[in-house]
């Protein structure tokens, strides 16, 4: 689900969320779910910034295959002017290359992986998040896994 800025939203207790957002840390709280320790509400600011012109289609991620082979499947989840989100399903290994002009982020949804690059081998597990430097160059991801790949 894509939640554009200015959309009123919440999550329920026990939810697992991978939040991808722009480098802006502004949250206007309009309700605090009767927490024991109360937090400040921002009703005036929220009212000034809530956007209501969205339709259901604005929230749906219409996925499409980018690439598919015996070893991997690359799926475009969402492309915005600010970031792109892909899902990489890897069955054995995937050869990749950094973007060169911007970093990217990998989040391991499940599986154990090994990233092999010029500087060495690095191991990661389910739930780990990895920053891929813009200038890393070619690297290999080995292992059976599902990964979210995000870049600017």
Task: Quote the distance between the C-alpha of residue 82 and its chain's center.
Answer: 12
How far is it, in rounded angstroms, from Cα 97 to Cα 137? 5
Say how far apart CA 24 and CA 75 lie, in whole Å.
27
Determine whether 64 is an active site residue: no
Backbone angles phi, psi at 93, to 5 degrees: -155, 155
Separation CA 113–CA 130 (nearest Å): 11
Q: Which of 29, 35, 39, 64 is catalytic?
A: 29
Q: What is the CA radius of gyration of the chain?
A: 18
Is residue 109 within 8 Å of residue 124, measured between CB atoms? no
Give the integer Cα–Cα distance in Å for 66 and 125: 25
Which sequence positions are flagged as catalytic? 29
């Amino acid at each position: 689900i894509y939640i554009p800025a200015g959309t009123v939203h919440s999550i329920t207790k026990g939810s697992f969320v991978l939040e991808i957002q722009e480098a802006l840390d502004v949250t206007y709280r309009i309700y605090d779910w009767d927490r024991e320790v109360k937090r400040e509400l921002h009703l005036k600011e929220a009212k000034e910034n809530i956007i209501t012109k969205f339709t259901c289609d604005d929230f749906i991620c219409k996925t499409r295959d980018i690439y598919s082979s015996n070893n991997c499947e690359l799926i475009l989840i969402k492309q915005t002017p600010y970031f792109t989100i892909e899902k990489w399903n890897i069955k054995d290994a995937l050869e990749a290359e950094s973007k060169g002009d911007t970093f990217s982020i990998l989040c391991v949804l499940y599986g154990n992986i090994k990233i092999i690059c010029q500087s060495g081998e690095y191991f990661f597990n389910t739930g780990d998040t990895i920053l891929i430097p813009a200038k890393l160059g070619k690297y290999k991801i080995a292992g059976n896994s599902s990964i979210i790949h995000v870049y600017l």
